[in-house]
Copies of this chain bind each other. A is one copy, B any other.
Amino acid sequence: MAYRSTERVKARLSASRQRIIAAALEIMAGHGYAGCSVAAVAERAGVATGTVYRHFPTKADLFAEVFRTASQREVDAVARAAAQRTTVAAQMAAVVETFAGRALQSPRLAYALLAEPVDPAVDAERLTFRRAYADLIAGHVAAGVASGELPAQDPELTATALVGALAEAMVGPLAAGVAGPGTIPDLIRFIHRALGVSP
């Protein structure tokens, strides 16, 4: 036995894997999922197409991970913003501002993550993305109901509906390229009403 992979190689492999994921993300941000052929991803990552398959069994597996990575980044940013506020009203305002602000920064990527037609196996990953947002929101809503800041309601349903509302309200602006200046404040008012925040 003359070969047993060493730390150095493991690190290189891992770096290579990360480069592939990063390349896929960059292409998604530039040309959407539609532009993400395996060959294009490989070229941008500086490897041969075959190499992609040493890291991921199928294209769907690769993009499941790409979606997972990107989604986690988004959800984390929103969670961090919300955590800095104390009232549910302020927390939800932070959620909207962060979510919408980031989406408008990278509209093509946001569109790919939210709504672009993708392989069904990748689409499944999208569900967990939305679920992560819903869980985050549901936690704040449940706390608000418990503290009496919000009226009694099913936090799960409220959170799911709010995620849908947020996503839908962003798809138009993302397609158009910009949001009207009043969109975000209006959306915050809508969501405050929906939560039952007292005015």
Residues of chain A whose beta carbon lies under 8 Å from any beta carbon of chain B: 34, 116-120, 123, 127, 130, 151, 153-154, 157-158, 160-169, 171-172, 175, 182-183, 186-187, 189-190, 193-196
Known contacts A157-B186, A157-B190; is A120 also within 8 Å of B117 by CB? yes
Q: In the complex the two chains form, what is the Cα distance from A28 to B77 in whole Å?
A: 39
Q: In the complex the two chains form, what is the Cα distance from A177 to B110 in whole Å?
A: 29
Q: Which residues of B contact A153 (CB under 8 A)?
A: 186, 189-190
Number of copies: 2
Q: How far is the CB of A90 from chain B (nearest CB, A)?
A: 19
Q: Which residues of B contact A175 (CB under 8 A)?
A: 127
Query: Chain B residue with minimal CB distance to A158?
Result: B190
Q: Which residues of B contact A158 (CB under 8 A)?
A: 190
